[in-house]
Amino acid sequence: MMVQGRAGGTGERFNLGEITVTRCALRVEAGAGEATVGVAYVLGRSQRQVHLAALADALLQDPAQQSALNAALLEPVRRHLVELQARRRARAASTKVDFFTVARESAGDGEEDAE
């Protein structure tokens, strides 16, 4: 699959490069002749991962199973993503520089030299 980018995030589109994507579409028989279709795309070549994602997509379309699958599948993923975001914010905060404080401290150093 071709990935496109934009210069500066808002400029003209350009072809950035190619990536490998694995796609899966499957049908799950729900009984009584009813079937749901699950579709998933995964970056890379993991057939198992894309199959599980498509299966989850199909099963989550069944209202009878939504609450159980939401608790078993989606909530742990949501918690993991919140933890990742908190770690990234903490790491970014540890590298933050307060330029106002730096300027104030350097101005304070100059006043001591003048005395």
* Total-model pTM: 0.65
Q: Are 35 and 28 in contact (CB under 8 A)?
A: yes
- Cα separation of 50 and 43, whole Å? 9
Output the six-digit token pair for 88: 């990234």
Q: What is the CA radius of gyration of the chain?
A: 25
- Going residue by residue through the chain, which has 115 residues, state the pLDDT in tens, using 9 for 90 and above: 999 988 887 888 999 999 999 999 999 987 777 889 999 999 999 999 999 999 999 999 988 888 999 999 899 999 999 999 999 999 988 888 777 765 666 666 555 555 4
